[in-house]
Amino acid sequence: MKITTIIPGQQNASTSSTGSTPAKGASFQEILAQELTAAKSTPTAMAAAAVAAPSPAALKLDGISLAEETINTLEKFSAALGNPSFSAQDLAPFASALEDDTAALVALKNQLPENNPLAPLLERVATASYVEAAKLRRGDYHA
């Protein structure tokens, strides 16, 4: 059997088993293009594209920076708790700062996609920050 190059639009008579002319219709490329366009416009496909889309780098950097700042505040708060010269009134600014940081961390976490690896870190830091601020406000550190 000899194989020859087939030019688009050219039909080899030997491929037709009945000898009749083939039915005219949309080409495979046209059908494929229509199906791809339809698939891209479905809500499921758009949601999958949104999940797969990476979050902006600036958002990630803001999250990391805020987490570092919050951890630094927690360390300063820990040092202040160990210093007997600090009174409850001296510690109040730490509680306010930790509460503000908690709110900012949660807001940033909510802007990230659900499967972003930064989200659990922000949640953990926000939880630690919230707990320490709540303990101070509740009076756990006043002896």
Which residue range is the domain that position 116 belongs to? 56-138
- In a shared domain, residues 37 and 76: no
Q: Are residues 41 and 72 in the same domain?
A: no
**pLDDT category of residue 53 using cuts at 50, 70 and 90:** very low
- Is 9 part of any domain? no
Residues 131 and 66 in one domain: yes
Instruction: Compute the average pLDDT of residues 41-63.
Output: 65
Whole-structure pTM value: 0.59
User: Does 2 fall in a domain?
Assistant: no
Does 11 reside within a domain? Answer: no
pLDDT tens-digit readout, 28-49: 777 777 777 776 666 665 555 5
Q: Are residues 38 and 70 in the same domain?
A: no
User: Which structure tokens are listed for 20?
Assistant: 């009749």
Rounded to 5°, angle at Cα 49 from 45 and 53: 175
Whether the pLDDT of residue 17 is over 80: the answer is no
pLDDT in tens, 67-101: 999 999 999 999 998 888 888 888 899 999 999 99
**Mean pLDDT across 16-33:** 65
Whether residue 46 is found in the same domain as residue 113: no
Same domain, 48 and 102: no
Which of the four pLDDT bands, split at 50, 70 and 90, describes residue 25? confident
Angle subtended at Cα 114 by Cα 108 and Cα 115, rounded to the nearest 5 degrees: 115
Query: 28 vs 2, 11, 23, 59, 85, CA distance in Å?
Result: 25, 15, 13, 43, 81
Closest-CA residue to 97 (of 69, 125, 59): 69
The Cα–Cα gap between 38 and 31 comes to 11
Q: Is residue 7 part of a domain?
A: no
